[in-house]
């Protein structure tokens, strides 16, 4: 694995030249020589926000350079794709850029941190970016958390959103439900149940707290319904065999059998029956 530099938690500022320093100069690059990064965390660019940046660039120019790295006969954007897109729409022919030799793993970190600092990423884009660091660069959740300045629980809970059905992920992306609502849906077992609950949240305009309560109640009801005729038959056979109350409690991973006894003598009787 490539060596990870310290200081990336400060995002793009960590790589920009300090005033009076001897860092690489900022150069103007032709827009047609610049290409976006394939693994850019942010996939969606809102038209309204992009147009605001276009208007600002037309009036004030590009105030902050993009960060790029040499890539074949072009330059790949590490941070600043939104500025590059806006510059194209504003009719610019060139863009101020800081050119650095950056390895893939560092490029992925910088892109993620820079977008997180600007609050540009949706919850799903964050989750995909975190997953990319875990799967492609063999990070642990603790290492990802340290790199982006988040807790390990935040990383884990965000990645779990990717387990939801594509329909619910689209609801999150379109801001029909919040990430908090979506996390509540994870407690339901099937996609059908999750989607039905999502529409209840939307139609009922439920708060996250109300959604959590509703899914908890559904989960509790689901556990009762999962005790079907087969389980009840086994319970009855055990009651007849042992001569006492027996309850089978199922869960997602197996379950447990609870056998009741009424005094020490009753306990010894049950031990004898079970040959223990």
The torsion defined by the Cα of 19, 25, 29 and 33, in degrees rounded to 10, comes to -120
The answer to whether residue 5 is catalytic is no
* pLDDT over 70 percentage in the chain: 83
Name the active-site residue from 48, 59, 81, 200. 81
Residues 17 and 93 sit within 8 Å (Cβ to Cβ): no
Structure tokens at 242: 């042992």
* Whole-angstrom distance, CA of residue 84 vs CA of residue 94: 9
- Mean pLDDT is lowest, of 60-69, 76-85, 117-126, for 117-126
In this predicted structure, what is the pLDDT of residue 75? Answer: 92
pLDDT at 234 over 80: yes
Percent of the chain predicted with pLDDT > 90: 17
Cα gap 119→130, rounded to integer Å:
15
Mind listing the domains of the chain with CATH numbers? 8-157 (3.90.1530.10), 164-226 (1.10.10.2830), 229-273 (no CATH)
The pLDDT value recorded for residue 64 is 84
pTM for the model stands at 0.57
**Cα 49 to chain center, whole Å?**
23
Per-residue model confidence (pLDDT) at position 161: 92
Higher pLDDT, residue 257 or 106 = 257
| Pairing, β 26-30 against β 94-99 | antiparallel
Rounded to the nearest integer, the mean pLDDT of the chain is: 80
| Most confident range, picked from 8-17, 23-32, 184-193 | 184-193
Distance, CA of 216 to CA of 184 (rounded, Å): 8
């Amino acid at each position: 694995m490539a060596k990870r530099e310290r200081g990336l938690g400060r995002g793009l500022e960590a790589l920009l030249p300090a005033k009076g320093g001897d860092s690489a100069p900022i150069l103007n690059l032709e827009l047609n020589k610049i290409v976006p990064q394939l693994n850019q965390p942010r996939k969606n660019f809102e038209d309204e926000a992009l147009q605001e940046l276009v208007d600002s660039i037309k009036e004030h120019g590009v105030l902050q350079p993009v960060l790029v790295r040499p890539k074949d006969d072009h330059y790949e954007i590490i941070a600043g794709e939104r500025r590059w897109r806006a510059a194209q729409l504003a009719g610019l022919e060139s863009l101020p850029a800081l050119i650095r030799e950056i390895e893939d793993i560092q490029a992925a970190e910088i892109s993620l941190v820079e977008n997180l600092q600007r609050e540009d990423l949706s919850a799903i884009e964050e989750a995909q970016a975190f997953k990319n660091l875990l799967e492609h660069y063999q990070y642990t959740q603790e290492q990802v958390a340290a790199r982006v300045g988040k807790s390990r629980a935040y990383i884990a809970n965000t990645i779990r959103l990717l387990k939801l059905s594509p329909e619910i992920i689209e609801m999150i992306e379109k801001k029909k439900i919040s990430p908090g609502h979506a996390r509540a849906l994870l407690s339901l077992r099937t996609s059908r149940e999750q989607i039905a609950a999502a529409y209840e949240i939307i139609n009922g305009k439920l708060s996250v707290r109300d959604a959590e309560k509703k899914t908890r109640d559904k989960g509790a009801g689901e556990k009762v319904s999962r005790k079907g005729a087969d389980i009840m038959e086994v319970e009855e056979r055990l009651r007849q065999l042992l001569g006492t109350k027996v309850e089978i409690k199922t869960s997602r991973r197996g379950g447990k059998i609870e056998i009741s006894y009424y005094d020490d003598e009753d306990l010894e009787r049950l031990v004898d029956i079970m040959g223990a």
